[in-house]
């Protein structure tokens, strides 16, 4: 049985949301107290409007972000290789794949957040994988996601576009910023680090480009289209 409002006698089906749709199927009890408890009624309606807007697209985005964070942690911290060559720390992994995918699918902001969370969660779960936590590397991770998102989101994914994106990340983030963070951590000159980092970046540039482009064409487009 539906309860009428004690003031105007309206039934639940007469209640309209801000977008004009009806709150059909809701018990009329909440209508009965709207005239006597305005604040509670307003809060109820506000919550209802919020959950109407929280659609499946947002849930899907959160699920994929969580998946990409998990993949990055596994590929970087568990399956990645961190070694010292001369006086420079070098990490080789495939953690760039989920971060690139997040940039293509969700844009710069969410991709940056995904990358930053991946770095933070990874160092918390595996503190011995790369040494003590240094916030500069989290900034670098965030910028990698931002660059992927800026250059690849809602763009036609071509080989040369991916190549340019990876080249920019390699030069600006890996060779540039990460070298600065290492000089601060190790208290050494950048000249002792820059050479080997340039060599590693030159080797990884075609590897990253081919893997991102190939995997996106093979898997990413199908996932993103669903």
* pLDDT tier for residue 59 given thresholds of 50, 70 and 90: confident
* pLDDT tier for residue 226 given thresholds of 50, 70 and 90: low
Give Cα 190 distance to the centre of its chain: 31
**Between residues 29 and 85, which one has the greater pLDDT?**
85
* pLDDT tier for residue 94 given thresholds of 50, 70 and 90: very high
pLDDT of residue 188: 83
Of 129, 111, 125, 124, which is closest to residue 68 (Cα–Cα)?
111
**Between residues 223 and 174, which one has the greater pLDDT?**
174
For residue 82, the cross-strand partners are 91
Torsion of CA 84, 89, 93, 95, to 10 degrees: 160
* Long-range interactions of 37-43: CB distance < 8 A, separation 24+: none
* pLDDT tier for residue 32 given thresholds of 50, 70 and 90: very low
Into which CATH architecture does domain 56-225 fall? Answer: Orthogonal Bundle (1.10)
pLDDT of residue 42: 65
Per residue in 111-139, pLDDT tens? 999 999 999 999 888 887 666 788 999 99
CA distance to 11, 111, 146, 196, 214, per residue, from 159 (Å): 60, 20, 19, 26, 9
Q: What is the mean pLDDT of residues 60-78?
A: 92
* pLDDT tier for residue 107 given thresholds of 50, 70 and 90: very high
Contact 104, 220 (CB under 8 A): yes
Domain ranges for the chain, please list them. 12-53, 56-225
**Range list of H helices, the chain:** 29-32, 38-53, 56-73, 96-106, 108-125, 135-152, 159-168, 178-186, 191-215, 221-225
* Long-range interactions of 82-85: CB distance < 8 A, separation 24+: 82/129, 82/130, 85/196, 85/200
């Amino acid at each position: 049985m539906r309860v009428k409002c004690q003031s105007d006698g309206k039934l639940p089906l007469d209640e309209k949301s801000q977008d004009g749709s009806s709150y059909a199927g809701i018990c009329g009890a909440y209508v009965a107290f709207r005239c006597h408890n305005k604040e509670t009624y307003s809060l109820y309606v506000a919550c209802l409007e919020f959950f109407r807007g929280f659609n499946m697209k947002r849930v899907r985005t959160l699920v994929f972000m969580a998946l990409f964070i998990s993949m990055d942690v596994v590929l970087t911290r568990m399956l990645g290789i961190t070694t010292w060559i001369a006086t420079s720390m070098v990490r080789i992994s495939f953690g760039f794949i989920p971060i690139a995918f997040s940039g293509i699918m969700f844009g710069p902001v969410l991709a940056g957040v995904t990358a930053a969370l991946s770095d933070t969660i990874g160092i918390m779960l595996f503190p011995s994988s790369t040494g003590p936590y240094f916030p500069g590397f989290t900034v670098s991770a965030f910028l990698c996601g931002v660059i992927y998102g800026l250059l690849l989101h809602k763009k036609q994914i071509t080989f040369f576009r991916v190549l340019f994106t990876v080249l920019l990340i390699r030069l600006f983030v890996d060779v540039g910023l990460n070298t600065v963070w290492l000089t601060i951590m190790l208290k050494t000159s950048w000249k002792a680090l820059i050479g080997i980092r340039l060599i590693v970046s030159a080797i990884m540039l075609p590897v990253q480009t081919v893997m991102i482009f190939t995997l996106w064409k093979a898997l990413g487009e199908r996932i993103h289209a669903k």
